[in-house]
Structure 1
């Protein structure tokens, strides 16, 4: 199934505004969450987005692109506004279609699934002469996800956890309407070696485990509204392997360590609200091999270029987590499918200098130079030290960065991407999925070796 996903407005067109929110930002975040769920949970979904950042794009450009791509479905995400007193959700198909049309049948399904989870008054299924519905050659739906100028609806839309629910409702509708095949779920056993309210205490635990030869990292979670910094010391698809690691952690003196079971619904057993991923510094060693990075990219896009080697070796040269930078490149390029303003031939994997349709950013002579520029740009943000000798400076915006202004990935919010209030979290969420998939694949190989 080929889905053209259209976050409404963008760039100079803010869309509706109210209660400190702009429609263009809300619609982009919901659309990116839809993309993330589809890419990680479903097979055989080919997805193109009208925009993946805050750019200006005309309605003609959007529908022409969808038509030229021969999409099967056009899904346009919007928010509403009126006079501040109206609330609720509604969706639209083209006014010239009958109630018995296939598009109307898809609308029935989408409406049912979205309203089942979005906690908004149901304003009904409607028809209109909107450009994206009229000019798109495929089945099309436009959703209006609450009134941004209504305080009650806006309070919900301000929450990332709520926007995740809205995205989930859209995905549920797509999965049901188009009979999408879900990736077989697997149980993951994560070793939790302590939870702390002070991040420095969590870092002390990570440093101690490292001294004992046990790799770990900090994972930020929210439980009943309270932020905790949780130390994770491994994740396994095999319970026996998880128990072995748990024994090692306890032998190191962490007697309160435990196994957190991530079930088939994708949620852990000890959280009761949305999990936030943070705590990764930009500088540091990577965990994934080039083969693991490339395999993950090609599991989504079979034509993805093999760049894992460059991200590992050049990342190691600059002391940057090359595998997380690789995840950033996946996010920026839509798994190297280049569905945004940057063209494949630019070798610009980080969107450096790209600001909109009229400015697609920098171009680099080779894929290696593109990766080199990406890592140099990260080095500028993460370090105040001079750029190490050994490679030429190819990042054209290196000297424009406020040096050392983003020590970790979440620190890139509002800097690398504008407004980008969850830019770093999206990258780390994708990276966490990369690690999870790689662990599962490795465990499957080891289990096959045992069997044979």
Structure 2
């Protein structure tokens, strides 16, 4: 059986300071994960499994480098996190795996079942592709050279999850150890020389046409030859984190990483074929421009909301229509505004500082630094204020409608024409723009823009 690498998230140096992770209830995510990790390591070693604990003083990037410098075939890697949410009612455990890898999804199910058998009071939030994470992809799932998963053991911001973790830490550790042992047995490779792997070949299809050269399957992930990337006119020179391997004198790249270059990637297990589509409806040069045209229909926005919160449209049935109308009037891409609303409100679950009756869908502040965020008399006016605030950041053009955004005049006009430039401005979160971009890709994937001809 291979070895098990386990990392406790946070606690290392990030941007010149110790990263505590989420903070809630008088504790930190780093502290809770280190305590849990130590128990898991002890339990696994008592079962005669070989375990390597990642040093706690490493950054996220350092953690990945530390693991990759030591891996052997058949090893697995797990990072444990505690999530946090604006609303203290959100709770439960989930596992993230690299998108399009059905084998890794099955591994994640083993891990989650192991935990929930020991702690059945913990709600099950499911096994999810990393494209559904806040950032749209997870480095720990993608950049580790062996099979890897990221486990969120609950929400530190939720009192019930936090109490469960602190009073039944050993049960958490036993459950995770059960899942890890099962996963490790599944990954254990067939006999062979570790230094001379024999990866199975896979078929490649591009825009509906079969490609003559074969790809390879590595740890359940499809890899394609680098010359195919060149043919797709993708420049990887500025993407050092895209996984590359050399196998039998040919350089291959992990296919799923091409999603970040607006290439749709899917996998057919029956025919062992990785399919790539580059004929996107969305023009790449317009993707992240706030002042641009929206692309979705009202129905597509409704479906996206309902698929992520089945009760989302109960209180605000006309919200997709309002975003399309108000965005179009001011020349703001309503898809971007709509995705920002989904991020800010948790798909209209609200919680935290925002309440549904405020009709504030983007966390807009009030004048004078009041304790509460701004309130608006109707959903349409709330959407209009959101659109106007985006236009203030992204454009020098005057408003079409009368101003209803209470902080419109305080914005330096035109300072943020791109989504990424909202980071540190609209929100103090420096990943804020990345999270909106990730949500936008989820919307376009849901609408079929990223995986089919239209």
TM-score by length of 1: 0.48
TM-score by length of 2: 0.48
